Amino acid sequence: MKNKVFIDTNVMLDLLGERVPFYESIAKIATLADKGQIKMVVSALSYSTVFYLLSKFEDSEVVKEKLRKFKVITETSDLTDKIIEKGLVSKFTDFEDALQYNCAIKSDCNVLITRNLKDFRLSAIPVMTPDEYLKSLKNK
């Protein structure tokens, strides 16, 4: 079975914002997705958040073009009423993280990639940083 990885908003921002020192690892993961070796999934919520943050530093049309290119190599997990309800009753302390997590579960992802590991302590699926995920692939 092909790895299906959920990309948290902070990691998506690292990639599209080319944030050093985090960019290189997520760029390698994105390349794997582009080659069809893994599936990347991202929440619909992440698109608006990333657009908002990046457009503070870049022209909004440039940001939209980055999002269009990113969308080609990812699947989008919809933010549904059911996911919002699960987020509202979850034991996650951060509501946005609860939404992200429930999007990952709904999309049958087998790993969640984030730089905020502590926020996903309650996860039923493995949670890794981009570097940890890349190392796990080498160990297979």
The predicted-structure confidence for 38-59, as pLDDT tens digits, reads as follows: 999 999 999 999 999 999 999 9
Query: Which fold would CATH assign to domain 4-130?
Result: Rossmann fold (3.40.50)
pLDDT at residue number 140: 66
pLDDT at residue number 86: 96
pLDDT at 1 over 60: no
As a whole number, the mean pLDDT across the chain is 95
Residue type, 60: S
Site of tokens 């939209």 = 64
Q: For the chain, what percent of residues have pLDDT higher than 70? A: 99
Average pLDDT over residues 73-79: 96
pTM over 0.85: yes
Strand, coil or helix: what is 71? helix
pLDDT at residue number 138: 87
Residue whose C-alpha is closest to residue 40's, from 107, 139, 138, 121: 107
Q: Return the sign of the alpha-carbon dihedral for residues 124, 45, 43, 60.
A: negative
What is the pLDDT confidence band of residue 108, given thresholds at 50, 70 and 90? very high
Residue type, 97: D
Return all residues near 25 (Cβ < 8 A) that are at least 6 apart. Answer: 129, 130, 131, 134
Question: H helices then E strands: how many in the chain?
Answer: 7, 5
pLDDT at 139 over 80: no
Average pLDDT over residues 84-88: 96
Task: Name the strand (E) or helix (H) holding 76.
Answer: strand 74-77
Q: What are phi and psi of 138, to 5 degrees?
A: -70, -25
Domains of the chain by residue range? 4-130
Residue type, 123: S
Average pLDDT over residues 110-136: 95
